[in-house]
């Protein structure tokens, strides 16, 4: 990343130069990346940059910014570089221990809220978030529904640490019980759940090899890969949830559109569940499946 150091660098010019540089390196959203990284260095919002276009970036700012841009150019995700990511209009801490929240996963929240309204559930629901990662699903539902009580689990202790910090940040830590371990992390429950939500691993071994370096080289494999078929964790989640969800309760799971047919078949063949609906993401792809506990 070479540029003439003898010249002054107004904010706008620095952003434009960096966007061009990241575009050459193959970044999918180079201008956005350039702005988010510079806003992080300047400890301001992206909007604040637009009122500072004529300001000169000092040497310390340029040095720190240059370091982040170099790392971004090698493929390191912006969210990990700045340490946070927006989800459902809220900011969440992220580290390399957790999957970066994505817009597609917001449809799990949308589905959960829809179902709670349609099924005439009581105001206070007991909800489990399996594979919570950063806690984005559990915390968002807790913020949207203050009367809900949630259990959030993850197999990785360092992910649970991140989720706990996010819960404190969003002032919902009293609503959420965190557990570390596989699936529900408990042999029995004090009472059945009304709802289970999850963004589980659903990438197959073959698909994992083909993922972009930004994902493959940086995001936790355990949060991505389910196995040979990509359906293994979802199938096990159906089994694990069957005895823990009350009759009439719901299971809301994110999936890949490539495994929709297999997931539908698993539900149709399962004695505890019946298929309810599919939610499509913004691109029109099948993204969230809903099953009802019979």
| pLDDT tens digits along 79-106 | 999 999 999 999 999 999 999 999 999 9
SS3 89: coil
Residue 151 pLDDT > 80, yes or no?
yes
CATH number of 96-293: 3.40.50.150
DSSP code per residue over 142-197: HHH-TT-EEEEEES-HHHHHHHHHHHHHTT-TTTEEEEESSTTSSS--SS-EEEEE
CA–CA dist 91, 77 (Å, integer): 16
Question: What's the confidence (pLDDT) of residue 2?
Answer: 54
Band (123; pLDDT cuts 50, 70, 90): confident
Question: What's the confidence (pLDDT) of residue 122?
Answer: 85
Instruction: Please check whether residue 83 is in contact with residue 94, taking contact to mean a CB–CB distance below 8 angstroms.
Output: yes
Q: Strands, DSSP E only, in 186-285? A: 193-198, 203-204, 225-227, 245-254, 273-280
Question: What's the confidence (pLDDT) of residue 62?
Answer: 96
Count of Cβ atoms closer than 10 Å to residue 206 Cβ: 10
CA–CA dist 174, 187 (Å, integer): 23
Mean pLDDT for the chain overall = 96
Residue 1 pLDDT > 80, yes or no?
no
| pLDDT tens digits along 259-286 | 999 999 999 999 999 999 999 999 999 9
Band (149; pLDDT cuts 50, 70, 90): very high
Residue 4 pLDDT > 50, yes or no?
no
> In degrees to the nearest 10, what's the CA dihedral of 105, 111, 114, 116?
-100
- Whole-number percent of the chain with pLDDT over 70: 98
| pLDDT tens digits along 153-209 | 999 999 999 999 999 999 999 999 999 999 999 989 999 999 999 999 999 999 999
> In degrees to the nearest 10, what's the CA dihedral of 225, 230, 234, 278?
120
């Amino acid at each position: 990343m070479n540029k003439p150091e003898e010249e002054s660098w107004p904010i706008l010019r620095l952003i434009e130069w960096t966007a061009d540089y990241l575009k050459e390196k193959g970044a999918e959203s180079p201008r956005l990346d350039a702005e988010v990284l510079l806003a992080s260095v300047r400890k301001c919002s992206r909007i604040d940059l637009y009122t500072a276009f004529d300001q000169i970036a000092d040497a310390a700012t340029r040095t720190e910014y240059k370091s982040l841009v170099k790392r971004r150019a090698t493929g390191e995700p912006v969210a990990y570089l700045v340490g946070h990511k927006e989800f459902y209009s809220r900011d969440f801490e992220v580290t390399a221990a957790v999957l970066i929240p994505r817009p597609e996963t917001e449809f799990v929240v949308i589905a959960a809220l829809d179902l709670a309204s349609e099924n005439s559930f009581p105001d206070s629901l007991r909800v489990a978030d399996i594979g919570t990662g950063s806690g984005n699903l559990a915390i968002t539902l807790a913020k949207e529904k203050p009367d809900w009580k949630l259990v959030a689990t993850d197999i990785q202790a360092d992910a649970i640490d991140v989720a706990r910090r996010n819960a404190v940040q969003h002032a919902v830590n009293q609503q959420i019980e965190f557990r570390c371990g596989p699936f529900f992390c408990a042999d029995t429950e004090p009472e059945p759940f009304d709802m289970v939500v999850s963004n589980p691993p659903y990438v197959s071994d073959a698909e994992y090899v083909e993922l972009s370096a930004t994902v493959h080289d940086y995001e936790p494999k355990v949060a991505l890969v389910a196995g040979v078929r990509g359906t293994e964790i979802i199938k096990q989640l159906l089994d694990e949830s069957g005895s823990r969800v009350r009759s009439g309760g719901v299971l809301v799971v994110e999936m890949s559109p490539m495994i929709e047919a297999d997931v539908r078949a698993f539900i149709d063949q399962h004695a505890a569940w019946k298929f309810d609906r599919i939610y499509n993401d913004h691109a029109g792809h099948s993204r969230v499946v809903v099953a009802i506990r019979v």
